[in-house]
Structure 1
Amino acid sequence: MSQLIQILNQLDTHHLYHGQLSIDSFSLVDEKSYYVKLTDIKPIYAQHRTLEPSKDLDDQITYKRYQPPQEHSSIKSDVFAMGIIFHQLLTEKLPEKIKIINNQPVWNPLTKLQDENDEKMKKLLKSMMLLDNSKRISVQQLAEKKFLSILNNKDLIQEFLDKISNCPSLNYFQKVILNFMISKFQTQECKIIKQLFQILDENNENFLHVNQLEQICKNSNENKVEFKIDSKAANNKNDQQKNGKKISDNDFLIALSNRDKLLTEEYLETTYNLLKNQNGLLSAKSINKKIYIDQNQLINELEKISFNGQITINEFKDIMQILK
């Protein structure tokens, strides 16, 4: 849910809205991840260009189930639609349909949420699905709801920890190349992972404490939405931060990236050709022309893993493909 709010917040920040949001507007980056992206972006572009409307009647019926009646599309109607999406995620059902009685819409959106014990979530959904948009919660207010934070998603935090733990040890050369390849060939995933890092880095330290993430998982209660850290954990927080492993933004990006899809023959050859020198070899100097690096550190690293500090295409592939 926190990622969906982030998407809505990004639209609002750029003075945009979608207008046709439904649960089908979003998808996972890949089948093995929890990272969500907005894939249906045509309605956003349609606001600024003359695009042919969808002729698929099913599509029109679907998104209209998520729209407030008698209301023009706006970021406020997107909030309403997101409320219905949240309802659907919690119950696997859409709310009951809005009835029109004496030309007035009548609706109780929480009828199917009777078994939902979390009163905060009920209150939030009700505020998102108010028919009067002047009273409906704003995107800014949604973004401030701490109990929707990624820090409450135990499964997602555990996935981060697993990927950090399973990430192989990298030398400086491998880190430089991987970061370049991720930004070049996995642009969307790169943006999402960087946004996740910024959310997790609550103190703006530019690194994460692994022990603190582990403590979140330990203390998370799957039956509650709100995350609370116990008093013992709070007392030990400073010790954890001092003694625990730290993860930089670049290391986090590498750990969470899909290296199997990235380190293919095609991408490696393209990367090599982009970075090679006039002699067809990789060197610290040729890499530094395309990537901002610590050149002295890279020179020292290349002298350890290559002959005369230059790497051939086959050596390059061998060095990088062991990171899959």
Structure 2
Amino acid sequence: MTKLRELVAIIKDKASQGKAAILSDRATLSLLRVTTHHSVAAPSHKHLSSLLSIGDGSRATCSVLIELLMDRLQTTHNSAVALKCLIVVHHIIKYGSFILQDQLSIYPATGGRNYLNLSNFRDDSSPITWELSSWVRWYAQYIEQLLCTSRVLGFFLGSDPSSQNRERESQEERITGLLNADLLRETESLLALVEEICARPDPAHMNGNKLVEEIAKLVGEDWISITSEVSVRVSEFRERLGCLSFGEAVELMCDLKRLEECKERMMLVAQSLWDLVSQVKEKAGKNVYREENSRLVRRHRASESDRFASSIFNSGDLLRFPSGRLM
């Protein structure tokens, strides 16, 4: 039965590609070649490159391609097709042209339909597709968080260095000029991405599957950029510990605790990052502790002052004049 489904899927792919070729629809043909129904084969580099080259055209052409991609992602019930569509999205983020990335970034930032919401995706046609369905749900959520974090940072996280603009190249200089609140917002967005990676399904269950291997490779490349961005921001907080407000210090401690809680499921991370996180968290904790004690002392003194004033005004030694005023 499974082989019959695969045969039908192959015939369907060939028919769709043939129709697109006859109509000279380059965008549709390129997309169909990249997002076939084959459940174990990852998109080829050749077909991905051909698809991304469409991004060198006009904005209208790029817009059509993104619409075709999102429509295919939302209408398919095949886990392999869905994963390949998401891989294409990921490749656009990492290697696509500026216009193609710009068209992608409007989903769902414009407030319209969230095309990456695949939380209800299920493909129960076989045990393999059922297992792949969990990857579809997770990968779509990861891509969505990657786009959200990229919007917060102001550049596409994990993108090809050759396509990064001048602002991205001077991130450390830019970060030093951020307000504490903005620095915390960026750090929290990065942590949400870290937590999303830690929530991925167990790849051991899909050992040897080329689709899962391709996804793991792409996310692994992102991971290098993510840990670098986290490290830069934690280092900046180390320099700012003396000028953080009480609320900011508490928020920073909570963020660093969230990061440490991910340690067991995180990919390989240099020990230097954990040492830095531990150091900043400890110092921030001491600042919070001192501030709390200072507040308790101030409240205690205020309370003592109130009792002292109360004892004076309640004293029987006070003289009450006929007007009712105390002297």
TM-score by length of 1: 0.25
Question: Which structure carries more strand by proportion?
Answer: 1
Question: Which structure carries more helix by proportion?
Answer: 2
